[in-house]
Amino acid sequence: MAICVYSYTTLNYALLCIIMQGFMIPSLLPTYSPYPLAMVRGEGDLIIDDQGQSWIDLYGGHCVCSTGHSHPKVVEAIHKQSKQLIFYSTAGELKIRREAADNLIAFSGMDTLFFCNSGAEANENALKLSFEITGRKAFGSFQGGWHGRTLLALTVTDDIKITKAFEGIFPEHYRFPFGDISALESINFSNLACVIVEPIQSMSGIRTAPLTWFSALRKKCTDAGCLLVFDEIQTGVGRLGVPYASDYFKVKPDFITSAKGLASGIPIGALLMTEGMAKDVKSHMLGSTFGGGPIACAALIATLDIIRDERLMEHAKSMQSYLVDALKNTVIDEVKGIGLLLGLKTSNASDLKTYLLSQRILIGSSSDPNVLRLMPPLNVRKSSLEYLVEHIRAYGSMS
């Protein structure tokens, strides 16, 4: 028997399901434990709940709402496209799909791309193509990396909770220390189809590595004939103050995977690649029914236009600088990360998150119990970050 839960306001959905356990199954299966509010609408960096209260959103729905909630230009682009053609697969030639590809290639500096639906699917295709292009059947990844829930993406994800059940069917795989140049020098890549790396490991607590390590990784891959995949699901689309992290770390990978903020909340993923990789891709190797749908492509074009026209990459760097300075001499021991992919390191992370939620500020946790994550819209208002700082200071004075 299934029921519909229409409004639970501040009652935690996961708790509701526990209460109902043994009586009936909810129509919507609980996964993440949600924030304690019923979201009704959004505007910029704000979420409005069913009680009419505004919440400052510094998490952006898992780093997705790159141009804020319901940016007028994104809404207009979706509306205009929906009146013309809502969908056709890649069996049909669509001008807007070509325009979206041209825009993203110009933005990224890569040579060509394949559209799909999500970050996990982009990673899955990057790994699959690496098998086919190199003829090798082993992968490499790094400790702390998180790459998705599809089978090959799970293979390279370092999260025992979600990988343990599948370990017997994973292909050959090796996991290496992240950011350690001496360890990197001792590894043999000659049997690997590719190595995949998040330039900033978000789920692991906003961990990154020095430019010298990324440069050494690129050389190591090139020398061994091993392909290099940058998982830029979160680091891409201007979030670091540059188009992609590969620009920041001055390394050109063979593949870049992109999703999340790519279309301001409309699902789309992209596998970007160099010309050298594209030459080895045959027509049967890639396919997606919904990848590059007209609505998603319209939202992608609008998103990139907004990032450029509103100078949001420059804003991301400015807001990072503000937070680093403003949070000195507070309970925050370190502001980690780059641009607007940030981690607040503090010994009181869980209590601080609870306090900030009581002040209607949405932030994220990580697998590091001492790091809270900030992934706000790229057009987050400075006043919203000032409100955050004010309440972090208020928390510090109470603790």
Which DSSP string corresponds to 226-249?
-EEEEE-TTTTTTTTSSSSHHHHT
Report how far apart, in Å, the C-alpha atoms of 266 and of each of 70, 259, 314, 386 are.
11, 10, 24, 29
Q: Which of 10-19, 70-79, 259-268, 376-385 has the lowest mean pLDDT?
A: 10-19
Interval 115-133: pLDDT, tens: 999 999 999 999 999 999 9
SS3 assignment, position 265: coil
d(CA 32, CA 203): 14
Q: Which of 12-21, 141-150, 297-306, 349-358 has the lowest mean pLDDT?
A: 12-21
Q: Is the dihedral of CA 111, 116, 117, 118 positive or negative?
A: negative
Interval 50-105: pLDDT, tens: 999 999 999 999 999 999 999 999 999 999 999 999 999 999 999 999 999 999 99
State both tokens at 397. Answer: 């004075």
Given a cut of 90, whether residue 7 has pLDDT beyond it is no
What secondary structure, in 3-state letters, does 336-378 show? Answer: EEECCEEEEECCCHHHHHHHHHHCCEECECCCCCCEEEECCCC
* Chain centre distance of CA 212: 24
d(CA 39, CA 196): 35
* pTM metric for this prediction: 0.93
- Residue 399 pLDDT: 74
Nearest to 367 by CA among 101, 160, 59: 160
Domain ranges in the chain are 72-309
Percentage with pLDDT > 90 across the chain: 91
Nearest to 42 by CA among 54, 30, 51: 54
Question: Was domain 72-309 assigned CATH 3.60.15.10?
Answer: no
d(CA 149, CA 301): 27
Report how far apart, in Å, the C-alpha atoms of 396 and of each of 134, 321, 351, 392 are.
54, 21, 11, 6
Interval 236-285: pLDDT, tens: 999 999 999 999 999 999 999 999 999 999 999 999 999 999 999 998 99
Contact 1, 42 (CB under 8 A): no
- Residue 26 pLDDT: 87
Nearest to 100 by CA among 288, 305, 241, 312: 305
Q: pLDDT band at residue 14, thresholds of 50, 70 and 90?
A: low
- Residue 23 pLDDT: 60
| Tally of CB atoms within 10 A around 179 | 19
Contact 151, 166 (CB under 8 A): yes
- Residue 30 pLDDT: 84
More confident residue, 386 or 12: 386
Q: Please, what is the Cα angle at 369 between 367 and 375, to 5 degrees?
A: 65
- Residue 8 pLDDT: 40
- Residue 3 pLDDT: 34
Backbone φ and ψ for 277, nearest 5 degrees, come out as -70, -45
Q: pLDDT band at residue 147, thresholds of 50, 70 and 90?
A: very high
DSSP H helical segments within the chain, as ranges?
13-20, 60-63, 72-84, 95-108, 119-134, 151-155, 160-163, 181-185, 211-224, 245-248, 275-278, 294-309, 312-326, 349-358, 382-398
d(CA 147, CA 125): 12
- Residue 244 pairs in a beta bridge with none
Given a cut of 90, whether residue 230 has pLDDT beyond it is yes
For 329, residues 6+ apart whose C-beta sits below 8 A from its C-beta are none
SS3 assignment, position 26: strand
Q: Which residue has the tokens 């609980």?
A: 30
Percentage with pLDDT > 70 across the chain: 94
Question: What is the per-residue burial (b if ≥16 Cβ within 10 Å, else e) of 318-356?
Answer: ebbeebeebbeeebbeebbbbbbbbbbbbebbeebbebb
d(CA 216, CA 113): 26
